């Protein structure tokens, strides 16, 4: 039965990894030191979990959409001229859907499923997902928890005041 890694063993594993030791060698050495079986898979899980936690990055100011980007996607005036805002992954991003999402959810948290169920009446599942993914990948909306999203402050200010 594999050992449960305590804090001392975890810190030793990280130190060994930092000096460039292979995971197989770390597992052998820690098993010899502790007298318990330390598996490579437990070490990989430890290292991968640490990588995921350290990759939560803060967005820089320039990562958020500009006023022009926001207006390109959410402008009702531009919608009257042309409903297609852009092409994203071979899907036409339609302003009417984006405007509808913004008007309903701009000032509250929401889940993808909430939005999909409420607004996915005319789009196939893949097309709707591409619209939502466009908003996430271009930082119009941001993740607040595992399943919840909200519009970024810039979009909210633009919607409320027409400016940043």
Q: What is the model's pLDDT at position 152? A: 93
Q: What is the model's pLDDT at position 70? A: 93
Long-range contacts of 30-35 (CB under 8 A, 24+ apart): 31/3, 34/3, 34/9
Whose CA is closest to 42, among 54, 55, 53, 26?
A: 26
Rg of the chain taking only CA atoms, in angstroms:
23
Q: What is the model's pLDDT at position 121? A: 64
Q: What is the model's pLDDT at position 39? A: 87
Whose CA is closest to 74, among 101, 95, 97, 93?
A: 95
Q: What is the model's pLDDT at position 2? A: 45
pLDDT of the chain along its 164 residues, tens only? 445 556 678 888 888 888 888 889 999 999 998 888 888 888 887 777 655 444 445 667 778 899 999 999 999 999 999 999 999 888 899 999 999 999 999 999 999 989 988 886 655 677 888 899 999 999 999 998 888 999 999 999 999 887 54
Q: What is the model's pLDDT at position 52? A: 45
CATH annotation of 61-161: 1.10.10
Cα separation of 13 and 68, whole Å?
Answer: 49
Q: What is the model's pLDDT at position 150? A: 95
Q: What is the model's pLDDT at position 58? A: 66
């Amino acid at each position: 039965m594999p050992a449960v890694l305590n804090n001392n063993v975890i810190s030793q594993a990280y130190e060994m990894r930092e000096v460039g030791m292979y995971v197989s060698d770390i597992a052998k050495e820690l098993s010899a030191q502790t007298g318990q079986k330390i598996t490579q898979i437990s070490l990989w899980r430890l290292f991968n979990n640490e990588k995921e936690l350290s990759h939560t990055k803060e967005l820089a100011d320039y990562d958020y959409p500009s006023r022009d980007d926001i207006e390109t996607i959410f402008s009702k005036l531009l919608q009257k001229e042309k409903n297609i805002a852009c092409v994203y992954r071979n899907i036409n991003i339609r302003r009417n859907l984006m405007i509808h999402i913004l008007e309903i959810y701009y000032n509250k948290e929401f889940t993808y499923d909430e939005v999909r169920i409420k607004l996915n009446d005319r789009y196939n599942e893949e097309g709707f997902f591409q619209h939502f993914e466009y908003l996430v990948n271009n930082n119009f909306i941001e993740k607040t928890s595992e399943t919840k999203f909200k519009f970024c402050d810039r979009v909210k200010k633009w919607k409320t005041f027409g400016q940043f």
